Amino acid sequence: MAMLAVLIPLLMLGVVLVLGRYEELLLPQDDADRHEPVDVAPAPAAATSSHAPAGTPAPSP
């Protein structure tokens, strides 16, 4: 019984690895096809702060 507790997870791991290899062979994908080129937008300009006071806060309801 202890042997089954050791062997079954190892066999399941083997099956998962074999299926992963089979999938790679069945559906080959190039790295260039997987990722679409992304246009990088320029960084926004830094916000400037005014020297005037913020004013009165909004009244409480």
Q: State residue 60's pLDDT score.
A: 77
Q: Which two tokens stand for residue 39?
A: 């246009």
Q: How far apart are CA 47 and CA 11, in angstroms?
A: 60
> Which residues, including other chains, have CB under 8 Å from residue 46's CB and lie 6 or more apart?
none
| pLDDT tens figures, 6-61 | 999 999 999 999 999 999 999 877 665 555 666 767 777 666 666 666 677 777 77
pLDDT surpasses 90 at 5: yes
Residue 38's identity, in one-letter code, is V
Q: State residue 55's pLDDT score.
A: 72
Could you tell me the pTM of the whole model? 0.44
Q: Which two tokens stand for residue 14?
A: 């083997």
Q: State residue 58's pLDDT score.
A: 74
- CA atoms lying within 13 Å on the CB side of residue 44: 3
